[in-house]
Structure 1
Amino acid sequence: MHADLSRLTFRPERHYSAVVAQQGRVQLDADANEQAAIQLYQARTLAADLIGRHGGPRDAAGRDIAGFYIDYVGGKYDIDTLLIRGGRYYVEGILVDATRPAPGVPVPDEDAHDEDTPTPPDRWTYWDQPDAFRDPERDRLPSPAQTPFVVYLNVWERSVTAAEDPALREVALGAAMPDTAARVKVVWQVLPLSLAELAIDTTDLSKDVVRAAFDNWAKKQSLSSGRLAARSERPDHADEDPCLVRPDARYRGTENQLYRVEVHAGGDAKDATFKWSRENGSVVFPVDELDGTWVQLASLGYDDKLDLDVGDHVEVIDTAYSSRLEALPLLRVEELDLPGRRVRLSAEPEPGVGRRPELNPFLRRWDHREGPRHKGRTAALKGGAVPVTEGEWLPLEDGVEVYFAKGGGYRTGDHWLIPARTATGSVEWPTDPARRPLLQGPAGITRHLAPLALVKGEEGAVDLRFGFRPLAGTIPPADEAALAAEAQARREEQAAEDPSHGRSQTTAEAEAAVDGGV
């Protein structure tokens, strides 16, 4: 997540069940965030174990009350669409809610005439679903008359700060203060998938066949195959600044940092690019207005460390851009107008981003300037980002280096986090017993996928969801006759197992002798 963090410490393989605060100790964001991550992991694991990979609730009578029931609506005079029923659904333990919020009721104007208020829609459609931001020019649905297609649910998570959701900011703290906590948002998107991508024979489109093919496809989509390692190496110019850090320090930065290496453009190594930030991509600047290459900002930063400077690369972002996981060119800051809180960029931002105030546009600063110098050569930037080079250690800054494993596949949004600490003069990264850095998969983004329907055109949509009933049920009232029969059966069973009825052997023999004498 893009947030101002010290580090992320949650590791499920360590099997910690809670974070225990100790008296008189420094409170860190990493501890509080790990406690939240532990609880979330436990809750989602339990839900997935009970429900399965995906499923929605049914009521006690078995009626379907789950969300994401799909209706296909062919457009005779308009474009085709899907109707998405509201309600809850679970994908790999993650709660996904498609309930459409009801609009508020305003206070009527005194002079206004009574008018019938139109009934708001109770279902989302393919085109207005809240997190997909579909473009009618690029994202039209396939024609089921030509070939059926699968509708599936794509679920993932991203961070949201006050730059994107101003309601998170406590205005009582004043505009000069930074924001407080960030949020993590569950993003859901209902998307089409052709049968060709599932490698399905169209002569057999049973539910089991489609679900099995989708599961095989989903396993390949959840995580990318890119792997990265990080280390710190004392750079050649270290002797030029011996007074700033320890002479033997491999990490030469003067402050603790959380480096974020994030894939910008995905694909194979020849096409992929990456960007990096020493602040985990948390340095952002809300946009007030775009005017060509000039951008009016709400603020130019809080200090020299978190401001903008000529030569910085920035990404123009809004809610739609973040949800679509696009990779538009990064732009360079060419000029600053400090009194006017304006910056001039190297090019005008793309038409589809940053121009709708309701989507809360902002600039995100990245800290690379040009391709990393390595072995006497400098790699040119591509689209404002650094080209991925596999099989070599690539320097970032201050002794921090990264290594992309050969043969990887990369997706926009894949990222790795690298804490760097001045106390150790090194970075925190897992190593083997010989202290060699270990290759790691990305920390995110993890996609959770579930099939919803198979659209067959005039035949309608075949429901591919799963459902589950409540575990709890009514307790039947006590039946006195049944209880008495059960008690008698238990007594007879005990008598058969223990003829002495619990008495000692000596007592039983004495009683038998008395009975015989009588």
Structure 2
Amino acid sequence: YIGGYLFKLTKNMTFRSQADYPEPEVPDKIGDLLVYLEAWKKSVNYIDDEAIREPALGGPDTCLRSKLIGQVRVLAADNLNSPDEACQFLSEYYPLSNINLTLQIEQSAHQLPLSFGEIDLGGGMIPGNLHYRIEIHRGMNGDGGLSEGVKWSDENAEMVTRAIKTIDNRNILVEEPEEVTGESFKPGDWVEISNIVTELQRQGGQMVQIEQLESTSCGLQVTLDAEVHPLLTRRKNGKIEHSLSPRLRRWSGYYPSLALKNTYDLGRGVKAVFASSDRKCHYESADYWTFAIRDREYNKRHAPQKSLPLGIKKYRHPLAIIKSGTKGEKIIDCRKFFKPLAEFGTGL
């Protein structure tokens, strides 16, 4: 049990065969190791599990499920000799995120006085509700380098579609999003290319913009403004590896850097400022905030003010310390055992 959730590790499971942790990271340092369990919740859509799509809807379906993820991970860690020391090491290695977000909501000339969350239904701007999502991004560039910044969406980044195949490094064939979500991409849209490996490692994908779109009989051909890193759309025998569930997710915008006290314009009069109450700022990839934009009174009461990230909430607990030495390895078991509840006395 971790975080109150039950995880079962089967006897025939190995470190490299974990269903929820494909291509696990292994320390390249030789020495003592700390083996620990990390647990968190992941949103699952139809790309991850086709069975959750509702056939009665005739195609469009944006429903999500929540899945508990349990991953056995390994860290290089010297001079650990007890479970308590291992717990302390994990808490220091993964400090809690202390970055906070403050929103500034301003009214611009094109907005109606009633609401900052206006929508356009073809007959002009009318008041509406918007679900904003701001997320810290740590992903990769086309050359494999690290990319870190801030991505945001005024539709909760809910528009995502499956990649069918790569035509070349800048052209990808995807499912027509309109058949799934009821709307499609547009030139200039920011999209994130990712797959199940990057998502289960909580690593961002690659942020690119759409240059051109062309509908074909096989799907929608998307031309991007940059080359896509091969790891995100890997091929096997000349075809894309669909077991990796490659996907394109639309975002409203992306800033390729994250700096405290900078003002980030998120459109519609919404501006974001990041800060930290501590001298040293801590945050993790995929830390996020969500909030609604409605009428002025609602925004005034509920707009985030120095708000910490809503998630992703992660639980970590040591399983074992592997001590290396000249006489071989020594394993210190860090698990805590308790009797089944049925074996406890009632006291009556």
TM-score range, shorter chain: 0.7 to 0.9
Change (3 A) 1:140 1:409: closer
Deviations 1:152-187 (A, max 9, x none): 111111101112211111224322x324x3111111
Is 1:132 the counterpart of 2:43? The answer is: no
1:503 is aligned to none
Query: TM-score scaled by structure 2?
Result: 0.81
How much has 1:310 moved relative to structure 2? 0.7
> Do the aligned partners of residues 330 and 272 (structure 1) sit closer, same or farther apart at CA in structure 2, a change above 3 Å counting?
closer
Runs of 4+ in 1 over 6 A off after TM superposition: none
1:334 lines up with 2:200 in the alignment: no
**How far does residue 428 in structure 1 lie from its aligned partner after superposition?**
6.6
Residues 478-510 of structure 1, C-alpha deviations (whole Å, 9 max, x = no match): xxxxxxxxxxxxxxxxxxxxxxxxxxxxxxxxx
Larger Rg: 1
Deviation at 1:417, TM superposition (A): 0.6
Q: Which amino acid aligns with 1:246?
A: L
Amino acid at match of 1:400: V
Q: Give deviations 1:263-289, integer Å, cap 9, x for gaps.
A: 0029xxxx8411001111111011111
More helix by share: 1
| Aligned residue among 164, 167, 171 for 1:288 | 164
- 1:42-76 per-residue CA deviation (whole Å, 9 max, x = no partner) reads xxxxxxxxxxxxxxxxxxxxxxxxxxxxxxxxxxx
1:188 aligns with 2:73: no
Match of 1:273 among 129, 149, 160: 149
| 2:192–2:207 contact (8 Å) kept in structure 1 | yes
Q: Please report how far the alpha carbon of residue 438 of structure 1 lies from its aligned counterpart in structure 2 after TM superposition.
A: 2.4
Partner of 1:168: 52
Higher strand content, 1 or 2? 2
Distance in 2 of aligned mates of 1:291 and 1:256:
38
Post-superposition offset of 1:309: 0.8
The equivalent of 1:427 in structure 2 is 299
Matched, 1:178 2:61: yes
Which position in structure 1 is the counterpart of 2:265? 395
Alpha-carbon offset, residue 475 of structure 1: 8.4
Q: 2:178 aligns with which of 293, 301, 314?
A: 301
Instruction: Report the CA distance shift for 1:159/1:284 in structure 2 as closer, same or farther (over 3 A).
Output: same
In the other structure, the counterpart of 1:148 is 32
Task: Measure, in 1, the Cα distance between the counterparts of 2:31 and 2:315.
Answer: 26
Counterpart check, 1:318 vs 2:195: yes
Describe the shift of the 1:474–1:464 C-alpha distance in structure 2 as closer, same or farther (beyond 3 A): closer
Q: Which residue of 1 aligns with 2:323?
A: 456
Equivalent position amino acid for 2:42 in 1: R
Q: Post-superposition shift, 1:316?
A: 1.1
Residue 55 of structure 1 is matched in structure 2 by: none
Check if 1:123 corresponds to 2:12. yes
Contact 2:194 2:205 in 1 (8 A): no
Matched with 2:237 is none
**Equivalents in 1 of 2:340, 2:193: separation in Å?**
46
- 2:230 corresponds to which residue? 351
Displacement of 1:474: 8.8
User: 1:234–1:250: 8 Å Cα contact kept in structure 2?
Assistant: yes
Deviation (angstroms), 1:326? 1.9
1:322–1:303: structure 2 CA closer, same or farther, 3 Å change rule?
closer
CA distance in 1, matches of 2:182, 2:270: 19
Percent identity reads 27
Q: Which runs of 5+ in 2 are unaligned?
A: 120-125, 140-146, 235-240
State TM-score, norm by structure 1: 0.56
Offset of 1:262 from its aligned partner? Answer: 0.3
Over residues 317-373 of structure 1, what are the superposed CA-to-partner deviations in whole Å (9 max), with x where a residue is unaligned? 2211101122343111111002352111123322222332012221000111xxxxx
2:32–2:322 CA contact under 8 A, matched in 1: yes
Look up the match of 1:206. 81
